Amino acid sequence: MDNKGIIGKMAAQHLKLSQFSGFDLIKLELESTKKNDVLREISELLAKSPNIDNPDSAYEALIERESLASTGMGLGVAVPHGRDPSCKGLTIAFARSTKGIKFDAFDGQPVHLVFAVLVPITAIHLHLQVLASLSILLQQPENRKRLMEAEFPQEILEFLDGE
């Protein structure tokens, strides 16, 4: 494992990202294949958290951020994120598409792994910390492979904690 992998693993373990997610916030196969439909499906997933009251508000936050630039970071990964005034606390959802999604990723490739991050308007620092940790973890090919091969939500939660 190179320095980036070690740093990402340490950051994930320090933050224990799984505390912001849960079994109900993990979907191992998305039904949608189009970007906006995926964002809607992810918003419904996020709304399973007690931190999110309104899937429509979550969707608007994700769409608003997506309108600035695609959150498709390449390598088959997207990390849609946003700040939602009705969100009560940082929430992370995960969804996977074996078919792939046209997500306007920077490398032009389809997206297979989606981590959605929603935060209250005031949680800027934590928001950036989580995005940085996820970005470092998701750059590692062995981590992306692990997420693609996961059979149970528990494996995703363990990944979020750098285990």
What are the domain boundaries of the chain?
3-160
pLDDT at residue 32, as a whole number: 93
Task: Tell me the catalytic residues.
Answer: 81
Q: For the domain covering 3-160, report its CATH number.
A: 3.40.930.10
Whole-angstrom CA distances from 27 to 5, 93, 122, 128, 132 are 25, 8, 28, 24, 22
pLDDT at residue 74, as a whole number: 94
pLDDT at residue 14, as a whole number: 62
pTM of the predicted protein model: 0.89
Q: Which mean pLDDT values do the consecutive 10-residue runs of the chain (163 residues) have? A: 46 72 97 95 96 94 95 95 93 96 94 96 82 89 96 95 81
Beta bridge partners of 94: 26, 115
* Strands 77-78 and 111-119, bridge-based pairing: parallel
Contact call for residues 27 and 45 (beta carbons, < 8 A)? yes
